[in-house]
Amino acid sequence: MTAYMDHKDLANETIDPARIQEITDGAHRVLDLIAQTEFTSGREEGSVTLLAATKTRDVGEIMAAIDAGVHMIGENRPQEVIAKIDGLRYACLQRGIVLGASDMQTVARLDETDDPEALDRLPLHLIGQLQSNKIGKMLPDVNTIESVDSFELAEKIARRAAAREQTVGVLLEVNESGEPTKSGCAPDEAFELALRIAQLEGLELQGLMTVGAHVDDEREIRRGFAHLRDVRDRVRDSDAEGTATCVELSMGMSGDMTYAIDEGATIVRIGQAIFGERDFK
């Protein structure tokens, strides 16, 4: 288990007003920057979704971000999902929101509402690496797994999802920068791999994901984002089975979100610009 989990109670829900304000201001700054960049890039208003990257943050901090208007939640580690999901789900329901992929029986059990179908939904994505022995634990809760980078992993997820008579969203993660520390398939394999994954029953290929190059060179960062967009376009327009849903481009973090939006991101994954610097890695 990751060390910081021994030092921080991720299920904690109590949060002081100054910290709520800090997170609210951070989320509003990011939402404003997204809107401004959509405008300057000629993107349609509201075409970029703000995913709050919530690793190392506790339930109280995450609920402050949700109250401030973030559109979805992205967790890196299955253990963090497990530690937080009950608290998050309950706090969301108190606000009339269904978090993640909870089925309607779970919702009805936790909530007295007459019409659970009428509740708002807030998607929960897994954005970090997933080991196959954790797939079963994630499927009841996550809508989309953004970190699928091999056919073998996609097949394992598909098998578990089909057994549950469930369809889970996946994004194919591509290592556009080629940095050896990063996960993701090779850029020149992405197209073929996406077509194979798109055919799997139990999965819905929703798009592609990448982590921007860790460099200062704007052109280098943009090149990776533009290549991801090009692969997405070719997959979506291929007419191959299961590819019509391949529309999302999850790219852009606190440091490079404006480039990503300009290059076509539909989801930006933002941690530190909302919550502040992380105390733990």
Ligand X SMILES: *Cc1c(COP(=O)(O)O)cnc(C)c1O
Interface with ligand X by CB under 6 A: which residues? Answer: 53, 55, 76, 127-128, 211, 253-254, 269-273
**Nearest-angstrom CA–CA distance, 149 and 128:** 11
Smallest gap from Cβ 223 to ligand X, in A, equals 19
Smallest gap from Cβ 75 to ligand X, in A, equals 9
Where would I find the beta strands (DSSP E) of 100-242?
A: 120-122, 124-126, 144-148, 168-173, 203-209
Smallest gap from Cβ 109 to ligand X, in A, equals 32
The backbone torsions φ and ψ at residue 53, rounded to the nearest 5 degrees and listed phi first, read: -85, 110
Residue located via tokens 């109590």: 14
Smallest gap from Cβ 57 to ligand X, in A, equals 10
Nearer of residues 195 and 211 to ligand X, judged by Cβ:
211
Using CB atoms, what's the residue nearest to ligand X?
271
Angle between helices 190-198 and 151-163 (to 10 degrees): 20
Q: Tokens at residue 19, please?
A: 């910290």
Nearer of residues 12 and 272 to ligand X, judged by Cβ:
272
Nearer of residues 109 and 278 to ligand X, judged by Cβ:
278
Nearer of residues 76 and 258 to ligand X, judged by Cβ:
76
Smallest gap from Cβ 158 to ligand X, in A, equals 22
**Nearest-angstrom CA–CA distance, 179 and 248:** 23
CB proximity list for 253: less than 8 A, separation 6 or greater: 53, 211, 212, 268, 269, 270, 271
Nearer of residues 27 and 93 to ligand X, judged by Cβ:
27
H runs (alpha helix) in 121-170: 135-138, 151-163
**Nearest-angstrom CA–CA distance, 227 and 230:** 5
Nearer of residues 202 and 212 to ligand X, judged by Cβ:
212
SS3 115: coil
CB proximity list for 118: less than 8 A, separation 6 or greater: none
Smallest gap from Cβ 278 to ligand X, in A, equals 7
Residue located via tokens 């592609």: 208
Smallest gap from Cβ 170 to ligand X, in A, equals 15
User: Among candidates 137, 135, 140, which has minimal Cα distance to 153?
Assistant: 135
Nearer of residues 135 and 145 to ligand X, judged by Cβ:
145
